[in-house]
Amino acid sequence: MKTILAAVLLSLASAAHAAPELGKPAPDFTLSDQSGKPVKLSDSKGKFVVLEWFNEGCPFVQKHYGTRNMQGLQKKYGAKGVVWYTIVSSKEGKQGYLTPADASQRIKAMSSKAILLDGKGEVGRLYGAKTTPHLFVVDKKGTLIYMGGIDDNPSADPEDVKTAKNFVAAALDEAMAGKPVSTPSSRPYGCSVKY
Partner 1 sequence: MKSLLLAVLLAAPASAAHVKATLFVSGGVGALRLVHDPHWHTYWINPGDSGLATKLTPGVLEFPAPERIVAGPLTSFGYSGEVVLPARIPKDVKTFTATWLECAEVCVPGKAVLTPRAERHELVSEAWERIPQMDTSAALGASRRGDRVILELAGRHPLAEFFPTAPGAFEGARGAVMVAPTRTELTLTKAPGAPDLEALSGVLVRPGLPPAMVSVPIASGGVAARNLLLAFLGGLLLNLMPCVFPVLALKVTGLLERPGRGHALAYTAGVVTSFLALAGGLIVARAAGASLGWGFQLQSPWVVGALAALFVAIGLNLLGLFEVGTRLMSLGARSGGGSFTSGVFAVVVAAPCTAPFMGAALGWALSRPAWEALAVFAALGLGTAAPYAVLASRPALLGLLPRPGEWMVTLKKILSIPMFTTALWLLWVLWRLVGAPAAADPLWKVWSPEAVQEARASGKTVFVDFTAAWCLSCQVNERVVLSRPEVKAALAKGLAFKADWTDKDPVIEAELAKHGRAGVPLYIVYPKGGDAVTLPEILTPGLVLETLGELKK
Which has the closest alpha carbon to 183: 138, 148, 134?
A: 148
Q: Report in angstroms how near the CB of residue 165 gets to partner 1 at its nearest.
A: 16
> Where is 189: in which H helix or E strand?
none
Q: Among residues 3, 109, 162, 179, which is the contact residue for partner 1, using CB under 8 A? A: 109
CA 97 to the chain's CA centroid: 17
Contact range with partner 1 by CB under 8 A, out of 41-49, 76-84, 103-111, 166-174:
103-111
The reply to whether omega before 133 is within 30° of 0 (cis) is yes
CA–CA separation, 124 vs 191, rounded Å? 14
Identify which of residues 7 and 35 has a Cβ nearer to partner 1 in the complex. 7
Per-residue x/- mask for partner 1, residues 154 to 193, rule CB under 8 A?
xxxx--------------------------xxxxxxxxxx
Per-residue x/- mask for partner 1, residues 26 to 55, rule CB under 8 A?
------------------------------
Q: Among residues 119, 148, 168, 175, which is the contact residue for partner 1, using CB under 8 A? A: 148
DSSP H helical ranges for the chain: 2-16, 59-66, 69-79, 100-106, 122-127, 167-176
Within 8 A by CB and 6+ apart from 103, the residues are 33, 34, 88, 115, 117
Strands 131-132 and 83-88: unpaired
Q: Report in angstroms how near the CB of residue 63 gets to partner 1 at its nearest.
A: 9
Q: Among residues 1, 15, 101, 177, which is the contact residue for partner 1, using CB under 8 A? A: 15
Map residue 108 onto helix, strand or coil: helix
> Which residues sit at the interface with partner 1, rule CB under 8 A?
7-8, 11-12, 14-16, 19-22, 56-62, 65-66, 94-95, 105-106, 108-110, 121, 125, 128, 130-131, 147-148, 154-157, 184-195
